[in-house]
A and B are shown apart, each in its own frame.
Chain A
Amino acid sequence: DAGITQSPRHKVTETGTPVTLRCHQTENHRYMYWYRQDPGHGLRLIHYSYGVKDTDKGEVSDGYSVSRSKTEDFLLTLESATSSQTSVYFCAISWGQRGDTQYFGPGTRLTVL
């Protein structure tokens, strides 16, 4: 298994509070991704990174920001959480080889009350 951890694994928070999710990898992979998974919507890309300090928006980036100051860490921040951001969040990493094979972390279940 690729060395990917996500923290926290579960979080309950209130509307309007800031939340930061962390993805940590030990593989030194260049590319990192944040997805959310919701019933009926499959996986949707929030933001991705192709190197330190290089990030770009995915299809559902509104209300989210990211930072990558080190190769191994990719942070996802919800500046002011809303109930619509209740979801399961997955981080993925990729070497950029064999196409774009991605390896996933275990996920963070976030509930916004």
Chain B
Amino acid sequence: GENVEQHPSTLSVQEGDSAVIKCTYSDSASNYFPWYKQELGKRPQLIIDIRSNVGEKKDQRIAVTLNKTAKHFSLHITETQPEDSAVYFCAAATNDYKLSFGAGTTVTVRA
């Protein structure tokens, strides 16, 4: 089955700086790559996603890039704010929506 690795496991950034989280996947058939954010005590929520026919996607301060050849994708958060502090999960799936998640990255934004 699919194996998704996520790095780093923890990330501490100064407010206003950028944060980057990287994931690799093993199944070349995967074609859907969402990112979920989970705030403390809350449920995971989708923040951005990308399909394999697109190399980059942006939504305000967050962006995701995908390199199909290398089988890796990354989340970029610019101008970080305290409310960006959370656990972020990457995931990969084929057409059946069966998501394989990474282990998560705990992001702490220091004021």
Co-complex (A, B): no
Chain A residues with CB under 8 Å of chain B are none
